[in-house]
Chain A
Amino acid sequence: MTPGDDLPSVKGDGLAVLLTLSRGPLHGYAIMLQAEERSGGEVRLQTGALYRTLKRLLDERLIEECDRPRTAAGDDERRRYYRLTQRGRRALAAEGERLERLASEIKVATAPKSAST
């Protein structure tokens, strides 16, 4: 169908992680903090769940490990950093399109009923 067909769909925690990493490379704990901060506390990643998600995203080649960015001064040297791959960026975009389609479907599905009540 679409060229993004071989892309795995991303939902839930995976989506939150991709979205957080779309702004630049981060280490695990930072992903947790930023995801929570950006969503106003709505997204709360727990440690175990986060690393399971990272593992899956790595396996699916949506993210990859990278060197410590120079901007991350003062942080622990040993930390591993992750960033989005091109493939990850495409998967993120594909999910955005899917959600938009879904949102409009819901609007259509609910509109006539609210008129009838």
Chain B
Amino acid sequence: VRERAYRFLLRLLPRGFRERFSAEILDTARQASQRTRGRPSALVVLTDLLATVVLVRVDALRAALRVRTHPGSPVSSLFQDARFALRALLRDPLFTAFSVITLGLGIGAGVTMFAVVDRLLLRGPDHVVDPDRVVRVYFSHEPAGMRRFTSSGVGHVTYELVRSRVRAFDQLASYATNGSRIGHGADARAARVTYASGTFFGLLGVQPILGRFFGPEDDDPARPDRPVVLSHAIWQRDFAGSPEVLGRTLVVEDQPHTIVGVAPAGFTGAELRPVELWLPMSLLSPRVTQDWATTWDALWMSVIGRLAADVSAEAAGAELTDAFRAGYGGDEPSMRAANLFVAPLGAGDAGTQTAEARVARWLLGVSALLLLAVCANLVNLLIARDMRRVRDLSVRLALGASAARVQRLLVAEALALALGGAACALAVAQLLGGLARRLLADVQWSSPPVDARLLAVAAVTALALGLVMGLVPAARAVSLARSSAAGLGGTRDGGARQGPLRASLAVTQAALSVLLLIGAGLFSRSLVNALSTDLGIEPEEVLVVELSRGTLAAFPPDQVEGERARRRVFPLEALESLRAIPEVTHAAVAVGMPFGNRFSVRLWIPGLDSIPRLSTGGPSISAVSDEYFATVGTSILRGRAFRRGEGAGTERVAIVSETMARTVWPGEDAIGKCLIAMSDTLPCATVVGVAADARRGALREEPSMHYYIPAGQEVGFGGAVLLLEGEDTPLALAPDVRRVLAALDGTITYVELGTIQERIDPQLRPWRLGTAVLASAGVLALITMLVGVYSITSYLLSLRTREIAVRVSLGATALHLARLVMGGSADTTLVGASTGVALALGAGRFVAPLLFDVSPRDPLVFGGAVGGLLLTALLASAPPCAKAARIDPNEALRAE
């Protein structure tokens, strides 16, 4: 490995030099590393070679520029500064490596988080012109007996209503993204397809890179050619980027479409998730429902608009609300009181900032803190280092160097360190950026982790830090060196006292470390709690099977109803064959499931005027087969589960959740009670069991009321999934399940398999991200502190050797000595720890919403963080203390 690194570095040399010397250098380096004593470490050899590459390049550059090195020429003194800085740094490779690496990690983490926040929050979706003026329309209403419901999903009538009555927008468009089937036969696969109104591309302001986009004139179901626009990615992958692709046919949902254009790379429409194809909305709407042009009940599209000049988001919302309430023609009373509002394109499903974006913003703050901690530590180290060189500097001053020049040399050193740090930061950003891309996989990252933008941010940060880090210590060192050159003494214990500047730097660093550690603790406890929380189901054990088939429109009109009925009962009939697979332990059908579809229907309870409500709203319903409770792992607390054979046509029964039983029939036994669901013309369903509460859609939710009816008895809602539990991991069942289903029904076009846990995982992401970033930042802060405290304590000790020798000869005990050596650092650590704790207590209020069942003042976390900090400080000052205890007074005084 070492040899390869040498060869790599040597290849970077200018050609002339390389041809003349590289064989010799390699030979000598090899021999030098075979020496038994005085052998240079690999680190020394590598930094030496790296420096040689840089310096030889500089020499060559200077020769090329024909710069004469006469003293005073600004260019030549610049080269001298750079050379001085490099040489001084190379003399201290450990210090240099440590500074470059910590700075690199600090800057690298900072720029990566900046890139993430930039992607999630600042920059809109790519290729959108003036994205700040483009908004999405949301509506929010509270149906009787249900929780408040906020969504961007609307129907065609709402879009038409807004288009004809609302003046707040210059342009308006609708779109809907779903999974559609492309290709046919064995090549068919699911693709993310956006159906968009003809105004969509014009509103966003995007330009095609090939051909054209479809416009309003194409958005017409009667058009025979059915235009389709390809994403850049699919054009590259499936069509090899060929310009001849225009006019060719692509089969989507079994229908031929004509390729008319290609979107630019990175274009994802109005959201951040990648999209593969764009088709006119008029091709989707008739597939949703036959009365798509008039119904108020089907909600399948989102509406975006470009705000007119001088119209605020609030004004647009108010106008939308008025127009909607006046124009609503459906029969849901709560919709007449609905509120409409607009939110930026980056907002999530409910019109609020996504959890990722919130956490990313916090983490950007965290990485700024980390960078601050790293810099505070480095400034402190640089001060100590410059102090050690005061004698050397004063000689330079005595020999006639100007103070400004000496100062400039020291600043050049700090700048060189910072630039080294920036180079290292790019490597770190490459790594962390890759990680962020894996964690946020459903976001279109159109740029590589390290691009020109990030390069610029890193370089500017490094230059600014280098200047600040260089100027402060340099000014101090020069003024000390001056007084010592003037014979005023002061070098001996100059810096032995911990001045206010260095003390405050050390306090800052300790405080930030504690803050980061507390954050890491809170987030990791949140993650543990979130993972171990009792959901009322076993999400990792359950395989969810969803079936897709071709459109019903492909059937002759007289067969559509029969086919629809066949599809409805198919899952129940397939259960028998699936249970025959040896590894399947339980199998069930569910219409409505945890972390899946959620249905609410009208409900009457004889003896009650109205259904009681909780903060989570009214009861929700699912229709499930026998074995459902055993399959998903929800326990039956009293009574019984559904039996085999219970379903369509049998007596009506129901099972209610614990919370529903307690809320609807307080103090009574729910079993034997009666409820009427869906329609008041149906007979009463008898409650036969009470099931444990299960989460319906979120890791964090208040218990809600839920009840179950046998699958086959549902009216007015549908969409069954198959649920399987196996002996082994659920996904191991996949091949058998696919085989069995394909044998049962040849019309199934697509089987989607996944565990319930996979649906929960995105909700865990903020805590995973937070724990990973905070914990690594905390550990890094501790390591920088360890090195900082150690080197400063050692340095102070070296200055006070004589004093300690005198004290030892006067009979000081080991404890006295320890206090003497650690004195300053112990104080600053304690003050820093309390400052950090105070800051964390203050920030707790703001962090609390991001935590999971952990108090932002968790004593265990606070204790652990402070303990970790104190332990680190102790560890760092232990070796200098031990050294102090070994000082032999006679020898030390003689050496003076």
A residues touching B (Cβ–Cβ < 8 Å)? 12, 28-29, 32, 36, 41, 44, 46-52, 54-56, 79-80, 102, 106, 109, 113, 116-117
Contacts and interface: CB of A to CB of B under 8 A. Distances in A.
B21 interface: yes
B55 interface: yes
Interface of B: 17, 20-21, 24-25, 27-29, 31-32, 38, 40, 44-45, 48-49, 51-53, 55-56, 59, 87, 395, 398-399, 487, 489
A48 B9 CA distance: 11
B59 A41 contact: no
28 contacts: A28-B24, A28-B28, A29-B27, A29-B28, A29-B32, A32-B32, A44-B38, A46-B48, A47-B28, A47-B32, A47-B45, A47-B49, A48-B53, A50-B28, A51-B21, A51-B28, A51-B52, A52-B52, A52-B59, A55-B17, A55-B21, A55-B56, A55-B59, A56-B59, A79-B27, A102-B399, A116-B487, A117-B489
Nearest to B47: A46
A111 B772 CA distance: 62
Given A12-B87, A36-B38, A46-B48, 9 more contacts: A28-B25, A29-B28, A47-B25, A47-B29, A49-B52, A50-B28, A51-B25, A109-B398, A117-B489
Contacts of A80: 24
A51 B24 contact: yes
A29 B25 CA distance: 9
A81 to B, nearest CB: 11
Contacts of A117: 487, 489
Determine which residue in A36, A48, A106, A116 has the highest number of CB atoms from chain B within 10 A of its CB, and name it: A48
A113 B487 contact: yes
Contacts of B489: 117
B28 to A, nearest CB: 5
A117 B21 CA distance: 54
Contacts of B59: 52, 55-56
Contact of A52 (B55, B398, B399): B55
B61 to A, nearest CB: 14
A12 B84 CA distance: 12
Contacts of A36: 38
A98 B840 CA distance: 62
Contact of B51 (A49, A56, A109): A49
A90 to B, nearest CB: 20
B28 A32 contact: yes
Contact of A46 (B21, B27, B40): B40
B49 A48 contact: yes
Q: Closest 6 CB pairs between A and B?
A: A48-B52, A46-B48, A113-B487, A47-B29, A48-B48, A29-B28
B28 A52 contact: no
B14 to A, nearest CB: 10
Determine which residue in A36, A41, A47, A54 has the highest number of CB atoms from chain B within 10 A of its CB, and name it: A47
Contacts of B45: 46-47
Contacts of B51: 48-49
B2 to A, nearest CB: 13
Contacts of B21: 51, 54-55
B49 to A, nearest CB: 5
A28 B27 CA distance: 9
A47 B2 CA distance: 15
Contacts of B487: 113, 116-117
A71 to B, nearest CB: 20
Contacts of B399: 102
Determine which residue in A44, A46, A49, A56 has the highest number of CB atoms from chain B within 10 A of its CB, and name it: A46
A77 B398 CA distance: 50
Nearest to B20: A55
B68 to A, nearest CB: 12
Contacts of B24: 28, 51, 79-80
Contacts of A49: 48, 51-52
A5 B48 CA distance: 32
A52 B17 CA distance: 9
B390 to A, nearest CB: 16
Contacts of A44: 38
Contacts of B56: 52, 55
A115 B215 CA distance: 95
Contacts of A54: 21
A49 B93 CA distance: 14
Contacts of B27: 28-29, 79
Determine which residue in A32, A55, A109 has the highest number of CB atoms from chain B within 10 A of its CB, and name it: A55
A80 B56 CA distance: 20
A115 B45 CA distance: 46
Contact of A29 (B31, B40, B52, B395): B31
A71 B52 CA distance: 32
Contacts of B87: 12
A79 B31 CA distance: 13
Nearest to A102: B399
A47 B53 CA distance: 12
A56 B17 CA distance: 11
A113 B398 CA distance: 13
Determine which residue in A28, A44, A109, A113 has the highest number of CB atoms from chain B within 10 A of its CB, and name it: A28
A106 B485 CA distance: 12
Nearest to B55: A52
Contacts of B48: 46-49
A115 B730 CA distance: 90
A80 B20 CA distance: 11
Nearest to A116: B487
Contacts of A106: 395, 398
B833 to A, nearest CB: 42
A87 B501 CA distance: 53
A58 to B, nearest CB: 9
A40 to B, nearest CB: 12
A109 B48 CA distance: 37
A36 B17 CA distance: 25
Nearest to B91: A44
A50 B487 CA distance: 38
A95 B395 CA distance: 19
A116 B27 CA distance: 56
Contacts of B17: 55
A46 B38 contact: no
A32 B27 CA distance: 13
A91 B382 CA distance: 37
A12 to B, nearest CB: 8
A49 B56 CA distance: 9
B607 to A, nearest CB: 92
Nearest to A48: B52
Nearest to B50: A48
A105 B379 CA distance: 35
Contacts of A113: 487
Nearest to B31: A29
Contacts of A28: 24-25, 27-28
A107 to B, nearest CB: 12
A117 B48 CA distance: 43
A32 B24 CA distance: 13
A54 B27 CA distance: 15
A56 B69 CA distance: 14
A104 B471 CA distance: 34
Contacts of B395: 106
Determine which residue in B27, B51, B489 has the highest number of CB atoms from chain A within 10 A of its CB, and name it: B27
A21 to B, nearest CB: 16
A108 B44 CA distance: 39
B21 to A, nearest CB: 5
Contacts of B32: 29, 32, 47
A49 to B, nearest CB: 6
B49 A41 contact: no
A48 B487 CA distance: 40
Nearest to B49: A48
A101 B610 CA distance: 107
Contacts of B38: 36, 41, 44
A48 B50 CA distance: 8
Contacts of B31: 29
A35 to B, nearest CB: 12
A69 B49 CA distance: 29
